[in-house]
Amino acid sequence: MSAAKTDPGNFFEDFAVGQVIEHATPRTVTEGDRALYGAIYPTRFALPSSAEFASSIGLPAHPVEELIGFHIAFGKTVPDVSLNAVANLGYAECRFHVPVVPGDTLRTRSEVIGLKENSNGRAGVVWVRSTATNQRGEVAIDWARWVMVHKRDAGAPAPETVVPSLAQSVAAEDLVVPPGLDFSSYDVAAAGSPHRFGDYEVGERIDHVDGVTLTDAEHMMATRLWQNTAKVHFNTEARPDGNRLVYGGHVISLARALSFNGLANAQLVAAINAGAHVAPAFAGDTLYAWSEVLDKAEVDAPGVGALRLRLVATKGRDETMTLRTDDGTYADGVLLDLDYWAFVPR
Amino acid sequence: MSAAKTDPGNFFEDFAVGQVIEHATPRTVTEGDRALYGAIYPTRFALPSSAEFASSIGLPAHPVEELIGFHIAFGKTVPDVSLNAVANLGYAECRFHVPVVPGDTLRTRSEVIGLKENSNGRAGVVWVRSTATNQRGEVAIDWARWVMVHKRDAGAPAPETVVPSLAQSVAAEDLVVPPGLDFSSYDVAAAGSPHRFGDYEVGERIDHVDGVTLTDAEHMMATRLWQNTAKVHFNTEARPDGNRLVYGGHVISLARALSFNGLANAQLVAAINAGAHVAPAFAGDTLYAWSEVLDKAEVDAPGVGALRLRLVATKGRDETMTLRTDDGTYADGVLLDLDYWAFVPR
Amino acid sequence: MSAAKTDPGNFFEDFAVGQVIEHATPRTVTEGDRALYGAIYPTRFALPSSAEFASSIGLPAHPVEELIGFHIAFGKTVPDVSLNAVANLGYAECRFHVPVVPGDTLRTRSEVIGLKENSNGRAGVVWVRSTATNQRGEVAIDWARWVMVHKRDAGAPAPETVVPSLAQSVAAEDLVVPPGLDFSSYDVAAAGSPHRFGDYEVGERIDHVDGVTLTDAEHMMATRLWQNTAKVHFNTEARPDGNRLVYGGHVISLARALSFNGLANAQLVAAINAGAHVAPAFAGDTLYAWSEVLDKAEVDAPGVGALRLRLVATKGRDETMTLRTDDGTYADGVLLDLDYWAFVPR
């Protein structure tokens, strides 16, 4: 009875296709979040750094980095969706709609869109589509995610298998341009790089050169800021090896920040097409990043183009920028393989 | 002469009953404090997290957690009251009056209300009643505290012994309800738990399940944020064992945050009745918490009830939730024994 | 080609006297910066801590600590000026003009004012004068700095040697008093010390007594907050000894904060005359500080005086406060020797 009021999270058999979960703890975003993000990640993109720059590119307010909104919105889903996860398997169709600005309060709601029990009957894959809305009810971010979740009771019957159809990538024409965005008088000196849309070629790889060695205090502070409660991130007694596992989103934000050096004009994340956390990261690891240009598209806004980028985080620097070995598996040292769209000036 | 302008703090013989001390460094609370608190403690209570939730329960502004105000107000007293402390012995009669909101500036004033020299003549107990006020002169928090303080000169004469009479607990009818508080349309989905006033029984114990392993960087950042200057928290050369001692308030905030899992609707701390820092905590320790319902009371505000709770922090998880051994001493692993009132929806 | 879009920074031969560099990444200062600064440094000066105190001394808004502005403004210059530095050699003529308040956006521009190639032809000294302006184009801070920078190509021809003439100290009459500053009803109780201008004597030394042991997480968070990208601060693989080098500005801010205990009324930094980072600092080091009064001056503002102070940070406490040994070199343990002006109440 002692734990009767604590939340055990949902197990595989607790989910049903069509089920809607209203996640707890609405969260007001503040300038404190922006400052902490800047203390934890070496971000230098001009837009989130400068209210003046935001105004100069047509934005009515000063948005925080898209990943701040994403981590907050995602964190809300953890207690209900992935507290009993075996593994996070993937993301898809993540789009950033209305920019998140300080003062906004985000809530997240998820709908179960797929279920597939594992053949061993001890766990299963749950697909959810999650939507974060602001205090005006506008959609800020939505995304699909799938995760393998333990069963509470291996004897529980398997649900009908439903595997949703998810796009390999968000189509360029479905990218949402923030109202007002106008890169026609974009200040490259303020942004820190002369490289525009036309300077990037599909297939090009960019070594972001810089590295950051992880500490436990930093990744825990970041993960808490997003109210992400997965115990493996905080508790040395929760894993046999006594290490705290770094939240995958921490690696994403770190790699995105490092990518400034080479992609300084990739000012806004427009969509996340796919993401794989290939290997775990721990305090003491030194993270590096490289990017590959996967696609390019023009966008219906003044001076705005979109680059589809692969962002790869590695443990230790790999100047050869090798994603996979000859047998198709990820190369040693690859931690993250993220596929996203960013808006850049044409 | 070199240290002539540095503050040595007060010693036991510097205090006199009736003496009033205006503590230095008024402090303006900001949204930055809220963000840092959320980065350092795994708090998920809907009220401090969401301005929208605060508004939905009738509050005219978005208060920060009561413990933010408490730590700031308390920190001001350290240079004058406890810089030369042997030990912090207890708290009593702590009440939260006007909620603290970003933009408020807190000052603290203390009155010496009791003195008792130790029989060995080398130290003595000082009782103070401290009051934190905001920039409008309204009382935000007041509390009594007693602490054993070194004498500068063992030969100084003992003062007359005055031991103040302090209540075992703040009476339910003396709890201060924030103006406007109305739980009649309380959103349990947003708050993260269906358990209301009526669901808790006196004597019930709740295992909060989750644990957090401490780091030095985090507890130092928190303690500095409160401008608490006790050197044992920051300086490995200040203690023979070379460890930095974790500020007791850090353990309180961590345990309170962990208590969300089981007490998600204990939205506001209304009073602290008593508190004992039973054993020291250090980086590397993994903290857990459990609670016991000590009392219940109805409150004269729409839909509002009060739970009197014992909050126990332990080093290592104790699923048996044992407070004391058979001989009446605290059980191994108990770090904190805090007795407080919280407002919950009826 | 992989690194073709990453910024390699400038090498000695890339600089020319008269060259003007507009540094990237304008940065909006927020209350989040103030909070983080207070979490990372044990600062207790009443002015940056309290909006009420700021108002009581005539300031129209609540400025952040001058060093927050300095670190941000300085950080912008790193990618262009000192990414390939052998050593930071000095500062001079740093003045704080218009106070920096939350909401201000800072940009920095540097002009090359001197060049001198080393006799070995492998590096050279670059002098720059940098100016940080706010969104209204007002000068917030300006300073001169010189740094030894690697040559990319040892065979590149040496430039004509130009060594600028820089003042040993900012003249007292050139100090900029913030508009409105009025210490005539200065509240010493709120400030935490009774010691005013008249209580300090030239030649006096003050042992600040307290120490802080450094952690990697804290210095990295601070340095990132200033968007300072020098890799030695973040990457254990960037140095042969595997240690992260603490940013020199971290030591400055820590020492300044510690100096509160003895110099609580040195409310504003008015100018930095000179600064030497004598030895590197690393996590695990315990820092202490002492000050020497170098000069005093009256200032043309009500109740305002200026103290010229030497601020010395040491590894381990040196109660003898010895700056140099008999042979004129810095004493063991000295990390920082900073010469600055502060405004104090008369």
**Over the stretch C93-134, which tens digit does the pLDDT of each residue have?**
999 999 999 999 999 999 999 999 999 999 999 999 999 999
What is A169-346's CATH topology? Thiol Ester Dehydrase; Chain A (3.10.129)
> Tens digit of pLDDT for each residue in C170-193?
999 999 999 999 999 999 999 999
Residue range B168-346 forms a domain whose CATH class is: alpha beta
pLDDT score for C206 = 97
Helix (H) or strand (E) holding C248: helix C248-258
Backbone angles phi, psi at A82, to 5 degrees: -125, 20
3-class secondary structure, A254: helix
Q: Which residues contact B329 (CB under 8 A, 6 or more apart)?
A: none
3-state SS, A35-70, equals HHHHHHCCCCCHHHHCHHHHHHCCCCCCCCCHHHHH
Q: How far apart are the first and last CA of chain A?
A: 62
CB pair distance less than 8 Å for A7 and B192: yes
Closest residue of chain B to C29, computed from CA coordinates = B32
Q: How confident is the model at residue A241 (pLDDT cuts 50, 70, 90)?
A: very high
What's the farthest any 2 CA atoms get from each other in chain C?
A: 64
Q: Which of A284, A274, A261, A99 is nearest to A192 (CA)?
A: A261
How many residues does the structure list for chain A? Answer: 346
State how far the Cα of B98 lies from the Cα of B96, in Å rounded to an integer: 7
Residues of A in contact with C27 (CB under 8 A): 49-50
pLDDT score for C290 = 98
Backbone angles phi, psi at B247, to 5 degrees: -55, 130
Q: C283 pLDDT exceeds 60?
A: yes
Task: Classify residue C35 as left (phi > 0), alpha (psi -120 to 50) or beta.
Answer: alpha
Q: Once rounded to an integer, what is the mean pLDDT over residues B120-138?
A: 97
Q: What tokens appear for B223 in the block?
A: 């303690």
Mean of the per-residue pLDDT values for chain B? 96
State how far the Cα of B270 lies from the Cα of B281, in Å rounded to an integer: 26
State how far the Cα of A10 lies from the Cα of B60, in Å rounded to an integer: 36
Portion of chain C with pLDDT greater than 90, in percent:
96
3-class secondary structure, A20: strand
Q: Once rounded to an integer, what is the mean pLDDT over residues B261-267?
A: 98
The distance of B333 to chain A (nearest Cα, Å) reads: 15
pLDDT score for C2 = 46
CB pair distance less than 8 Å for A217 and C222: no
Q: Once rounded to an integer, what is the mean pLDDT over residues C71-79?
A: 97
> Tens digit of pLDDT for each residue in B172-216?
999 999 999 999 999 999 999 999 999 999 999 999 999 999 999
**Closest Cβ–Cβ partner in C45, C215, C290 for B216:** C215
Residues of A in contact with C4 (CB under 8 A): 206
Neighbouring subunits of A (3+ Cβ pairs under 8 A): B, C
> Tens digit of pLDDT for each residue in B30-71?
999 999 999 999 999 999 999 999 999 999 999 999 999 999
The distance of B293 to chain A (nearest Cα, Å) reads: 12
> What number of H helices and E strands is found in chain A?
8, 12
CB pair distance less than 8 Å for C30 and B32: yes
Q: A2 pLDDT exceeds 60?
A: no
CB pair distance less than 8 Å for B25 and C46: yes
3-state SS, chain B, equals CCCCCCCCCCCHHHCCCCCEEECCCCEECCHHHHHHHHHHCCCCCHHHHCHHHHHHCCCCCCCCCHHHHHHHHHHHHHHHHHCCEEEEEEEEEEEECCCCCCCCEEEEEEEEEEEEECCCCCEEEEEEEEEEECCCCCEEEEEEEEEEEECCCCCCCCCCCECCCCCCCCCHHHCCCCCCCCCCCCCHHHHCCCCCHHHCCCCCEEECCCCEECCHHHHHHHHHHCCCCCHHHCCHHHCCCCCCCCCHHHHHHHHHHHCHHHHCCCCEEEEEEEEEECCCCCCCCEEEEEEEEEEEEECCCCCEEEEEEEEEEEECCCCCCCCECCCCCECCCEEEEEEEEEEEEC
Q: How many CB pairs (< 8 A) connect A and C? A: 141
| Chain-centroid distance, C-alpha C335 | 14
**Closest Cβ–Cβ partner in B5, B28, B236 for C62:** B28
What is A1-29+64-166's CATH topology? Thiol Ester Dehydrase; Chain A (3.10.129)
Interface predicted TM-score (ipTM): 0.96
Q: Is the dihedral of CA C312, C314, C319, C321 positive or negative?
A: negative
State how far the Cα of B232 lies from the Cα of B282, in Å rounded to an integer: 11
pLDDT score for A3 = 52
State how far the Cα of C226 lies from the Cα of A42, in Å rounded to an integer: 9
Backbone angles phi, psi at A113, to 5 degrees: -120, 0
- Residue A272: C-alpha distances to residues A65, A91, A205, A295, C281 (Å): 14, 8, 19, 13, 41
Backbone angles phi, psi at A238, to 5 degrees: -90, -5
> Tens digit of pLDDT for each residue in C220-255?
999 999 999 888 999 999 989 999 999 999 999 999
Q: Which residues contact B120 (CB under 8 A, 6 or more apart)?
A: none
**Closest Cβ–Cβ partner in A49, A205, A284 for C2:** A205
Residues of B in contact with C315 (CB under 8 A): none
State how far the Cα of C81 lies from the Cα of A333, in Å rounded to an integer: 33
> Tens digit of pLDDT for each residue in B296-338?
999 999 999 999 999 999 999 999 999 999 999 999 999 999 9
Q: How confident is the model at residue C1 (pLDDT cuts 50, 70, 90)?
A: very low
Q: How confident is the model at residue C3 (pLDDT cuts 50, 70, 90)?
A: low
Q: Which of B74, B248, B69, B79 is nearest to C44 (CA)?
A: B79
State how far the Cα of C309 lies from the Cα of A22, in Å rounded to an integer: 59
Residues of B in contact with A238 (CB under 8 A): 211
* The amino acid at C172: A
Helix (H) or strand (E) holding A309: strand A304-315
Q: Which of A82, A106, A88 is nearest to A96 (CA)?
A: A106
> Tens digit of pLDDT for each residue in A34-71?
999 999 999 999 999 999 999 999 999 999 999 999 99
Q: Which CATH number fits domain C178-346: 3.90.76.10, 3.10.129.10, 2.20.25.90, 3.40.50.970?
A: 3.10.129.10
Q: How confident is the model at residue C87 (pLDDT cuts 50, 70, 90)?
A: confident
Q: How confident is the model at residue C4 (pLDDT cuts 50, 70, 90)?
A: confident
CB pair distance less than 8 Å for C211 and B221: no
Residues of C in contact with A40 (CB under 8 A): 221, 224
CB pair distance less than 8 Å for A52 and C135: yes
Residues of A in contact with B318 (CB under 8 A): none
Report helix angle B66-77 to B216-225, nearest 10: 80
Q: Which of A75, A82, A83, A72 is nearest to A36 (CA)?
A: A72
Please, are residues A126 and A16 in contact by the beta-carbon 8 Å criterion? Answer: no
Q: A1 pLDDT exceeds 70?
A: no
B296, with CB counted inside 10 A (0-12, 13-18, 19+), is: middle
Would you tell me how many other CB atoms lie within 10 Å of the CB of residue A2? 16
Q: Which residue has the tokens 């690859």?
A: A334
Closest residue of chain A to C6, computed from CA coordinates = A262
What's the farthest any 2 CA atoms get from each other in chain A?
A: 64
Residue range C8-29+64-166 forms a domain whose CATH class is: alpha beta
Q: Once rounded to an integer, what is the mean pLDDT over residues C41-50?
A: 98
Would you tell me how many other CB atoms lie within 10 Å of the CB of residue A116? 18
pLDDT score for B209 = 94
State how far the Cα of C110 lies from the Cα of B155, in Å rounded to an integer: 63
- Residue B156: C-alpha distances to residues B150, B151, B153, C303 (Å): 12, 8, 6, 40
State how far the Cα of A245 lies from the Cα of A234, in Å rounded to an integer: 8
CB pair distance less than 8 Å for C5 and A44: no
The residue extents of the domains of chain C are 8-29+64-166, 178-346
B121, with CB counted inside 10 A (0-12, 13-18, 19+), is: middle
> Tens digit of pLDDT for each residue in A287-330?
999 999 999 999 999 999 999 999 999 999 999 999 999 999 99
**Closest Cβ–Cβ partner in B192, B205, B263 for A24:** B192
State how far the Cα of A150 lies from the Cα of A122, in Å rounded to an integer: 6
Residues of B in contact with A102 (CB under 8 A): 31
What's the farthest any 2 CA atoms get from each other in chain B?
A: 64
Please, are residues A85 and A245 in contact by the beta-carbon 8 Å criterion? Answer: no
Please, are residues B343 and B181 in contact by the beta-carbon 8 Å criterion? Answer: yes
Please, are residues C210 and B229 in contact by the beta-carbon 8 Å criterion? Answer: yes
Return the C-alpha torsion angle B289, B292, B295, B296, nearest 10: 70
Looking at per-residue pLDDT, the higher value among C88 and A106 belongs to: A106
> Tens digit of pLDDT for each residue in B136-184?
999 999 999 999 999 999 999 999 999 999 999 999 999 999 999 999 9
Q: C84 pLDDT exceeds 50?
A: yes
Portion of chain A with pLDDT greater than 70, in percent:
99
